[in-house]
Amino acid sequence: MTEQTLAPRSPDVAPGDGGSDGPAPRPTVPPRPESHARRFSPGWIAKLILVGLVDALGVYGIIAAAGVESWWIVAFLVAALAVVNWAYFSRRAVPAKYLVPGLLFLLVYQLFVMAYTGYIAFTNYGDGHNSTKSDAISAIETQNQERLPDSPAFPVAVVTRGDELGFAVVQDGKAEVGTADDPLAPVDGATVQAGKVTAVPGWTVLSFADIAGRAEAVTALAVPVSDDAGDGTLRTQNGSVAYVFSPVMQYDAKTDTFTNTKTGVTYTPSDHGNFVSAKGEKLEPGWRVTVGWENFTTMFTDSRLSGIFLKVTLWTFAFAFLSVATTFFLGLFLALVFNDPRVRGRKIYRSLLILPYAFPGFLAALVWSGMLNSKFGFVNQVLLGGANIDWLGDPWLAKLSVLGVNLWLGFPYMFLICTGALQSIPGDVMESARMDGAGAWRAFRSITLPLLMVSVAPLLISSFAFNFNNFTLIYLLTGGGPDFVGAPVPVGSTDILISMVYSVAFGTGSNDYGLASAVSILIFIVVGVISWIGFRRTRTLEEL
């Protein structure tokens, strides 16, 4: 459909539609003496205050973004502020006044992030490639450090503030505090006893017991001595004495290479965002670069990944299809059973039947995961009299359990919509079928089911699309497990594509945002195709 075909429908434009730019001829309205927007009404003042607040926030954001050199954010904020001010202070842009807030949020948190997903899918963004090249260089300098033979020892106090750990030392008679992110800097008001800091305002000094409890974090902590990463860092092995460590890796900006000062090996940047030696030895961390179609091709060609990816994809389709099929048939069956007016107490049955649907889905998944616990769960211990069936630990039983729980969650919805659809089938159709001698089964097959499908089919398609991405159920019930043995990503037998995205991006082990985004893009395509099929059926597009 085009604008032309729509045009005949638009005579219903309200007269005096101030801001309409459309082709509709303007009806002659007596000129108004003055716009309402120019009157100092309470609404006008409220608008002024709200837009003022947005402007203030935006200007703050522009300054803050410029401070951290996020030029994209600056550009977006400038454009957004211009649009907001134009929309609310122009007399012409009436529809814009109503659309701008929603569209701005949509633009950032839906459209932009979709496009950004597309971009990340073509990068190696993830653990080891989290940031820019300059960040990687300073990280390599900080991480590859050794204690110099003659470096001074500092009696150190381990201090903490919130989640942050830091060191407090005395340097040149002055107490200084620093953390992994902030280099050592002098503090005022610290108490020093025998060359060691014992109290710092705003910080808690850890006792020996505390240090022992967090030994790993304390020994891993490296506090930069100054702003220049080349000056080295302060580290401790025991929480009481710290030494200055100096970089072993020297970066040469002219040749863009790293040189190991002890072995003399040079490392040159590769096109995968790492410094690599001639022998192929990599320096970690690397930085973010675009890698083309690599994330997509590894899914299909990497022998360790392609099998898993295929299994997960097949299971995703099987899970979505079987979930719709089982819930629909049970719901339809029950709807038929209770569609008989001779059954008494139908209201009670119905209100109890929809209880699983009313129960929040995330809680249901968690409750069932406890009930299906193989050792202590209700199902094994009580219903099966002490059986030891590993419902969630065996690959096939776990799949069955997921489907069973989704059946519990989903059939009441199907029951409700089937009941609604059955009741809208006119009685005379059934009557005439019976007159023509159709039996109960024949009448159901040839009359009831086709009529039912007309109204229910679009809902089945959207139910399929919903289950295709039913992350909450899978993740909270099985966590995707049982895990595939030896897989390069933490993915298991009941993982569907969307929960694979979660595991790859945020799961334990290494986080690979690039690969996760590539999987997301594939889901986008599948969901798009499903919805397109749905739209063709419902022809929603024609009703705009």
C-alpha 471/C-alpha 493 separation (Å) is 14
C-alpha 266/C-alpha 186 separation (Å) is 37
Q: In 3-state terms, what secondary structure has residue 202?
A: coil
Least distance in angstroms from the C-beta of 20 to other proteins: 6
Could you tell me which of 376, 398, 401, 403 has the C-alpha nearest to residue 387? 376
- # residues near other proteins by CB under 8 A: 123
Asked whether 150 and 317 are in contact (CB, 8 A), the reply is no
Q: How far apart are the first and last CA of the chain?
A: 10
Q: Per-residue x/- mask for other proteins, residues 427 to 456, rule CB under 8 A?
A: ----------------------------x-
Contact flag: residue 68 with other proteins (CB under 8 A): yes
In the list 71, 86, 98, 208, the residue contacting other proteins (rule: CB under 8 A) is: 98
Please say which residue, 259 or 381, places its beta carbon nearer to other proteins. Answer: 381
Least distance in angstroms from the C-beta of 519 to other proteins: 9
Contact flag: residue 412 with other proteins (CB under 8 A): yes
Asked whether 260 and 249 are in contact (CB, 8 A), the reply is yes
Please say which residue, 230 or 420, places its beta carbon nearer to other proteins. Answer: 420
Please say which residue, 208 or 532, places its beta carbon nearer to other proteins. Answer: 532
> What type of residue sits at position 268?
T
Least distance in angstroms from the C-beta of 148 to other proteins: 34
Q: Which residues contact 174 (CB under 8 A, 6 or more apart)?
A: 186
Of residues 36 through 55, those in contact with other proteins by CB under 8 A are 36-37, 43
**Contact stretch for other proteins (CB under 8 A) within 165-173, 241-249, 480-488, 520-528:** 520-528
C-alpha 226/C-alpha 162 separation (Å) is 23
Asked whether 429 and 493 are in contact (CB, 8 A), the reply is no
**Contact stretch for other proteins (CB under 8 A) within 107-115, 206-214, 228-236, 265-273:** 107-115
Of residues 2 through 21, those in contact with other proteins by CB under 8 A are 3, 6, 10, 12-21
In the list 458, 482, 487, 488, the residue contacting other proteins (rule: CB under 8 A) is: 458
| C-alpha 429: how far from chain center | 50
Contact flag: residue 531 with other proteins (CB under 8 A): yes
**Contact stretch for other proteins (CB under 8 A) within 212-220, 237-245, 308-316, 471-479:** 471-479
Least distance in angstroms from the C-beta of 541 to other proteins: 7
Least distance in angstroms from the C-beta of 220 to other proteins: 20
Least distance in angstroms from the C-beta of 444 to other proteins: 15
DSSP letter (8 states) at residue 107: I
C-alpha 201/C-alpha 204 separation (Å) is 8
Please say which residue, 345 or 426, places its beta carbon nearer to other proteins. Answer: 345
Of residues 499 through 518, those in contact with other proteins by CB under 8 A are 501-502, 505-506, 513, 516-517
Of residues 348 through 407, those in contact with other proteins by CB under 8 A are 348-349, 352-364, 366-371, 373, 376-378, 381-382
Least distance in angstroms from the C-beta of 482 to other proteins: 15
In the list 120, 312, 433, 489, the residue contacting other proteins (rule: CB under 8 A) is: 120
Residue 250 belongs to what H/E stretch? strand 249-252
Asked whether 201 and 190 are in contact (CB, 8 A), the reply is yes
Please list the alpha-helical segments (H only) found in 149-214.
208-213
Least distance in angstroms from the C-beta of 42 to other proteins: 11
Least distance in angstroms from the C-beta of 354 to other proteins: 7
Please say which residue, 32 or 254, places its beta carbon nearer to other proteins. Answer: 32
The full DSSP string for 252-318 is: ETTTTEEEETTT--EEEE-TTS-EEETT-PEES-----B-TTHHHHHHHH-HHHHHHHHHHHHHHHH
> What type of residue sits at position 147?
R
Please say which residue, 241 or 449, places its beta carbon nearer to other proteins. Answer: 449
Least distance in angstroms from the C-beta of 47 to other proteins: 8
Which residue do the tokens 């993830």 mark?
A: 126
Please say which residue, 315 or 475, places its beta carbon nearer to other proteins. Answer: 475
| C-alpha count within 13 angstroms, C-beta hemisphere, residue 331 | 29
Give the CA angle between residues 37, 41, 43 to the nearest 5°.
80
Q: Per-residue x/- mask for other proteins, residues 308 to 337, rule CB under 8 A?
A: --------------------------x--x
> What type of residue sits at position 93?
A
Least distance in angstroms from the C-beta of 175 to other proteins: 29
Q: Backbone phi, then psi, for 60, in 5-degree steps? A: -60, -45
196-199/191-193 β-pairing: antiparallel
Please say which residue, 178 or 412, places its beta carbon nearer to other proteins. Answer: 412
Of residues 128 through 147, those in contact with other proteins by CB under 8 A are none
Asked whether 122 and 290 are in contact (CB, 8 A), the reply is yes
Please say which residue, 110 or 171, places its beta carbon nearer to other proteins. Answer: 110
Cα dihedral 173, 179, 184, 190 sign: negative
| C-alpha 372: how far from chain center | 28
Q: Per-residue x/- mask for other proteins, residues 73 to 92, rule CB under 8 A?
A: x-------------------
